[in-house]
């Protein structure tokens, strides 16, 4: 985290830019999810959505900074949340793409699709959390750090896949929700549950300074 000379946190153009980029990732992939949920989005609306989330993410980071004056960790949580939203979009976007291409939204193939999509999200997560959220620039123990990151992420992957698969294959669609829509809802619930686990593991073990 950038620091001012008096030890206080500092909001930089880099923070706003990185927040905006993550917002753009989320906004750009959201139409893919909506399309698989049978919600038609025109190209113009898709563009507006992408721009809207780009701005909202940048504003969210700024708000997190100002709130950190009262609770210091909020700024870091805001950045982690921004990265998490982008990871969610990568995860759900790829999952929906695989479902769309295969026409399969349940069973063992769904679990495989979920693992594939989550793997892409984990890669995205490592890059952004290292260089931005936790600002770990030391490369002396990169191998050890990456190993720890993988351990936390693999546990998160297992939790993610298990939660999503149980909701899809055991619980099943609730409230008359369509199968494909329920697949996305289940993935979203799993991702939210795992975010808390990842933040704690990354902050206090992987990227601990």
What is the residue whose two structure tokens read 């999503």? 164
pLDDT at position 6 over 70: no
The predicted-structure confidence for 115-133, as pLDDT tens digits, reads as follows 898 788 888 888 899 889 9
Percentages helix, strand, coil for the chain, rounded to the nearest 5? 80, 0, 20
Helix (H, G, I), strand (E, B) or coil at 180: helix
Confidence (pLDDT) at 13? 93
Q: Are the C-beta atoms of 74 and 64 separated by less than 8 Å?
A: yes
Q: What is the pLDDT averaged over residues 70-80?
A: 92
The residues, ordered by sequence, that sit 6+ positions from 66 with a Cβ below 8 Å of its Cβ are none
Instruction: Tokens for 147, please give them.
Output: 């190993």
Instruction: Tokens for 139, please give them.
Output: 């490369």
Is the pTM for the entire model greater than 0.85? no
Confidence (pLDDT) at 139? 66
Q: Where are the domains of the chain?
A: 13-206
């Amino acid at each position: 985290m950038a620091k001012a000379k008096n030890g206080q946190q500092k909001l930089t153009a880099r923070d706003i830019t990185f927040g905006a980029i993550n917002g753009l990732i989320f906004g750009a992939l959201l139409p893919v999810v909506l399309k698989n949920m049978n919600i038609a989005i025109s190209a113009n609306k898709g563009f507006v959505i992408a721009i809207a989330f780009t701005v909202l993410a940048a504003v969210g980071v700024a708000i997190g900074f100002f709130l950190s004056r009262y609770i210091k960790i909020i700024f870091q949580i805001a950045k982690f949340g921004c990265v998490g939203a982008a990871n969610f979009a990568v995860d759900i976007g790829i999952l929906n793409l695989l479902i769309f291409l295969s026409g399969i939204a349940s069973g063992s193939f769904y679990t495989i699709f979920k693992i594939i999509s989550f793997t892409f999200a984990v890669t995205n997560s490592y890059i952004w959390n290292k260089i931005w959220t936790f600002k770990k620039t030391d490369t002396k123990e990169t191998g050890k750090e990456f190993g720890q990151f993988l351990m936390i992420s693999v546990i998160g992957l297992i939790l993610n896949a298990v939660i999503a698969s149980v909701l899809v294959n055991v619980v099943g669609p609730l409230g008359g929700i369509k199968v494909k829509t329920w697949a996305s809802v289940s993935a979203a619930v799993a991702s939210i549950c795992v975010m808390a686990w990842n933040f704690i593991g990354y902050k206090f073990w992987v990227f601990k300074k």
